[in-house]
Amino acid sequence: MNKLLPSFLVIAALAACAPPPSTWSETVDAGLHTYQGAHVHELFEIWGVPDADGEVASARYYLWERSFESTLIEPRRQKVVSMSDREARIAQTLADDEAESDFVTTPVNAHCRIRVFVDLWGRIVSWDGRGNEFGCGRLASDIQKAVGDHERLPAPG
C-alpha cells in the first residue's frame, strides 16, 4: 500500500496540472460533462432555445446548429531573405509597387451541429457534435463561461 501512495500522489498532481481544453470539441465536451444529469433547460439559458428537437431510436434530443460564411483576415507574411541594404531597398520598392494590401483574406465556411440527448425527465445523458472552430467556437466559449460561473456558486445548504 505504501508503494502505491507515492504513485497515486504523482498522478493526482499531474491531473491537477492538466492544461485547459484546447479545441471547441474538448471545451464543449468538458462543459457538458459538468451539466450531465442536469435538466436541459440549463443549456437553454446558456445557448438559447435549440434550433430543433426530435427523436432517434426513441431517444429525445435537442439540436443547436450554426452555419454561416465569413472572411478571415490575416496579416500578410513577409519573407525573410538575406540580402544587402541596396538589394533590400530595391526589393521593398518592387513589393510596394505590387502589394495591394498588408492583409490576406480567406473565405471561411463556419458550421456547427451539437445534439444533446435527454432522458424521460429532460436530464442530459449524452451528446454528439461536429463542426469547426469558427462555427462552434461561440457555443464552446459560452459553456466554458457558464461552467466557470457554475463552479463559483456557493453550495446549497
Q: Which helix (H) or strand (E) holds 24?
A: helix 24-35
Say how far apart CA 111 and CA 97 lie, in whole Å: 38
DSSP-derived secondary structure letter, 123: B
pLDDT in tens, 40-52: 999 999 999 999 9
Distance, CA of 146 to CA of 31 (rounded, Å): 8
**How many CB atoms neighbour CB 30 within 10 A?**
15
Q: Is the pLDDT of residue 5 over 60?
A: no
pLDDT tens sequence across 93-147: 655 555 556 777 888 888 999 999 999 999 999 999 999 888 888 899 999 999 8
